[in-house]
Amino acid sequence: AGGLFLGAGVDIQRDRIEAQITAWGRAKESWLVDYVILDGDTSRPEVWQQLTDLLNTTYPHESGVRLSIVKMAVDSGYATQQVYGWARGQGPGRVLVVKGMERGAAPIGQPSAVDVTVDGRKSRRGVKVWPVATGLLKSELYGWLNLDKPTAESGEPFPAGYCHFPQMDEEFFKQLTAEQLVTKLVKGYRRQEWVKTRDRNEALDTFCYSRAAAA
């Protein structure tokens, strides 16, 4: 009942598209609603049609209404031109083409236009790419995952940022926590960077993009 709107984060791979749909409530409380893997060659149109179908899927809310996905953030780091082409076909507003950046002061920054007109100028109505501060969002998420669940006896509300998950397999949670923050020495200066502790981290990436969509 606390979920007010749905955001989605999408990660593109060579042979599949992975998407996380999250309900967001007040004080950044969240509920994982759906996790979808669309198998298919992302250089071909068939799997992109599946993503269109997912964008237009509605989900039942406890109140009885059905909620649609308000914003879907799609990573453009792989299959970049296919992402641009698909986003262009969805009309303005609902799809955000995003690019992860290690650093940033806000979850999502100012977009830059990537489409140009015939005379070489940026197109106002073309695709824009939004930078997402993935390092900031990973730190935020790991803090949320450490929050204690209030006991039923206490009657206290869930703390701000609390993440609710349905029954998921172990692989999902391994992916969600697949990176750690380490300190490296770069040109004599200490710098913190997120590094993978395992190959698969799509659950973490798609959560961050869903959070960016919510922002």
pLDDT of residue 208 exceeding 70, the answer is yes
For position 102, what pLDDT does the model report?
A: 86
> Residue 214 and residue 161: Cα distance in Å, rounded?
13
pLDDT of residue 132 exceeding 80, the answer is yes
For position 113, what pLDDT does the model report?
A: 86
**pTM higher than 0.75:** yes
Hey, is 93 helix, strand or coil?
coil
For position 93, what pLDDT does the model report?
A: 85
The 10s digit of each residue's pLDDT in 144-194 is: 999 999 998 888 999 999 999 999 999 999 999 999 989 888 888 888 889
For position 116, what pLDDT does the model report?
A: 54
For position 119, what pLDDT does the model report?
A: 52
For position 183, what pLDDT does the model report?
A: 87
- Quote the radius of gyration of the chain (alpha carbons, Å): 18
Instruction: Tell me the sheet residues that pair with 68.
Output: 58
Instruction: Please compute the mean of the pLDDT values over residues 106-130 and round it to a whole number.
Output: 75
The 10s digit of each residue's pLDDT in 79-115 is: 999 999 999 999 778 999 999 998 888 889 999 888 7
For position 54, what pLDDT does the model report?
A: 98
The 10s digit of each residue's pLDDT in 18-56 is: 999 999 999 999 999 999 999 999 999 999 999 999 999
**Cα distance from N-terminal residue to C-terminal residue, the chain:** 20
Q: How many CB atoms lie within 10 A of CB 104?
A: 16
Percent of the chain with pLDDT over 90: 78
pLDDT of residue 117 exceeding 70, the answer is no
Cα dist. 50→74, 124, 133 in Å? Answer: 14, 28, 28
Instruction: Please compute the mean of the pLDDT values over residues 116-141 and round it to a whole number.
Output: 79
Q: Are 48 and 29 in contact (CB under 8 A)?
A: no
For position 16, what pLDDT does the model report?
A: 97
pLDDT band at 212; cut points 50, 70, 90:
very high
